[in-house]
Structure 1
Amino acid sequence: MENTADSPGSRTLSSVDRALSVIELLAENNGLTVTQLANRLGTGKATAFRLAKTLVERGWAEKDEELRYRLGPSALSLSPGVQNGTDLRRQLYPILQELQDATGETIHLTVLRGRHIVYVEQLVSPKPVHSVSTLGGRSPAHCVSPGLAQLALLPEAARKWVVSTPLRRYTEHSVVDPDAVLAELVRVRERGYAINKGTFRADVGGVGAAVLDARGRPRAGLSVCMPIFRMQSTDLAEIGNLLRTKAVDAQRRLDLGLHVPGW
């Protein structure tokens, strides 16, 4: 019998698997070096470099001046969040601007896709220390505030589906126990906004709220993102209530079909 583990077909599938793993890693992180890619893939640096170089040549990744790899235009063009979020960006940009004017922090507009959120718009904080995400990139919904805010408003069956598979722990603060996640979603639903204190990236947190559709289902997420050290001196309840108000304003804009002139 042929040893499929050593067959040419098996090696080809392994390469495809690794390339897809690189794309997933780039979608979940704001830039990774070759060394970081190699460590997370469990491969040598030479292999990671060849994979990244191939993806760059095909437009699926790009390398910045700091030699970090990020998602490229080919990947971003296929992102359902970017494709379907165009109208959201046009209609909700004034809301995002109002949130940044009020908080001075980075503002994100996201959509829920399965167990992840996809970033469709971002206004970066003008402060020297701030958080930046990748448009078209993904974050685990159970670890970030706009994800929790949207998950909390899903039907019970959908919430249980989210925790039906083992949840990955990203930091020591990540909540991965299914019952604990479901309990947190109940609290988020009652409060009207979610708070993340370093559950995805240890030094970054945020507050998020969901924008609803006519059926009361999550259509998008609004969030205020900031370094953990600034969260400690910030009135998070005030930001949460502001987000709740702006989420209602956003829903109204979407229902009316308002657009920003010039888009």
Structure 2
Amino acid sequence: MENREQSDTLSSVNRALTLLELLAENSGLTVTQLADRLRTGKTTAFRLAKTLTERGWVEKDEEMRYRLGPALLSLVPPDQLGQGLRHLLRPLLEELQDATGETVHLTILRGRHVVYVDQLISPKPVHSVSTLGGRSPAHCVSPGLAQLAALPSEALDWVLDAALPPYTERSLTDPGAVRAELQRVRQRGFAINRGAYRAEVGGVGAAVLDDRGRPQAALSVCIPAYRMRNDDLTAIGELLKVKVVDAQQRIRLHRRPLTELP
């Protein structure tokens, strides 16, 4: 009996890992397609996908197709995230710093946090510094809000399903309030943080999207709270919108085969 239970457990683990591998190789698969490729029944495939979805390792889109979810990124060490993007987008960070004079960041959404993969520090006497590989709660910082606003509904539901801890009096802790703020982010095309994570620091961020409109990274400008003025924030936000379009074009060209490049 014990050997049989162990065999059943190993079989389930093997199927779950195979399911993840299938999703890594495809842009999205339905339950029927998963069942066919796993050579199992639709009920079994559904249960596997549902379990992985509840853990955030898999997500289901509006077309009922399953894809890899945000929690899988938690398995990747911070120092291995975003190295290619860091090299590719560094010129844009330099342009942003030249234009604003403030600290600029490149971040990647990792589960419920953003990870800092590159930064250029402001030359001004008062500035903010983050640790490369360090994390900030996505719901409290501008690059996090910008990327959350671009997530599919199932992935966003997973992020907001956990408790949202407060860090300052400006932190949003109610999922409904976060959703309302994300709607404002979508409308204007960039996010603004006015001290929701650290009271003395705010910023403006915009998401770099892939061809499906999902977040790959975010560019952001970090500003001491006393230097934040509404007109400046709007101008920085509009500048970021231009830079993320440039970033998306750079990524797109970089991924094309050399024979297709002009």
Which TM class, normalised by the smaller chain length? Answer: 0.5 to 0.7
Structure 1 residue 233 displacement after superposition: 6.7
Q: Structure 2: which amino acid aligns with 1:249?
A: D
Residue 184 (structure 1) aligned with residue 181 (structure 2): yes
Which residue of 1 is the match for residue 152 of structure 2?
155
- Cα distance in 1 for partners of 2:150, 2:81 equals 20
Which residue of 2 is the match for residue 251 of structure 1?
248
1:5-34 residue CA offsets vs partner (Å, 9 max, x unmatched): xxxxxxxxxxxxxxxxxxxxxxxxxxxxxx
Which residue of 1 is the match for residue 142 of structure 2?
145
- Cα distance in 2 for partners of 1:95, 1:185 equals 25
Contact kept in structure 2, 1:81 and 1:136, CA below 8 Å: yes
Which one of 167, 171, 176 corresponds to residue 170 of structure 1?
167
Residue 86 (structure 1) aligned with residue 83 (structure 2): yes
SS in 1 for 2:127: coil
Which residue of 2 is the match for residue 129 of structure 1?
126
Residue 238 (structure 1) aligned with residue 239 (structure 2): no
Which residue of 1 is the match for residue 224 of structure 2?
227
Q: Determine what percentage of the aligned residue pairs are the same residue.
A: 67
TM-score (norm 2): 0.67
Q: Structure 2: which amino acid aligns with 1:205?
A: G
Deviates more, 1:231-240 or 1:134-143: 231-240
Contact kept in structure 2, 1:196 and 1:206, CA below 8 Å: yes
Structure 1 residue 80 displacement after superposition: 3.6
Structure 1 residue 234 displacement after superposition: 5.3
Structure 1 residues 176 and 92 mapped into 2: Cα distance closer, same or farther (>3 Å)?
same
Structure 1 residues 249 and 81 mapped into 2: Cα distance closer, same or farther (>3 Å)?
farther
Which one of 201, 204, 207 corresponds to residue 204 of structure 1?
201
1:105-157 residue CA offsets vs partner (Å, 9 max, x unmatched): 00000000000000000000000000000000000000000000000000111
1:23-56 residue CA offsets vs partner (Å, 9 max, x unmatched): xxxxxxxxxxxxxxxxxxxxxxxxxxxxxxxxxx
Structure 1: gaps (5+ residues): 1-77, 259-263
1:161-219 residue CA offsets vs partner (Å, 9 max, x unmatched): 11111100000010111100011111111111000000000000000000011111000
Structure 1 residue 232 displacement after superposition: 3.0
- Cα distance in 1 for partners of 2:81, 2:135 equals 15
Contact kept in structure 2, 1:82 and 1:119, CA below 8 Å: no
Contact kept in structure 2, 1:159 and 1:182, CA below 8 Å: no
Q: Structure 1: which amino acid aligns with 2:83?
A: T
Structure 1 residue 225 displacement after superposition: 0.2
Q: Structure 1: which amino acid aligns with 2:190?
A: Y
Higher relative contact order, chain-length normalized (CA < 8 Å, sep 6+): 1
TM-score (norm 1): 0.67
SS in 2 for 1:207: strand
SS in 2 for 1:129: coil
- Cα distance in 2 for partners of 1:191, 1:148 equals 13
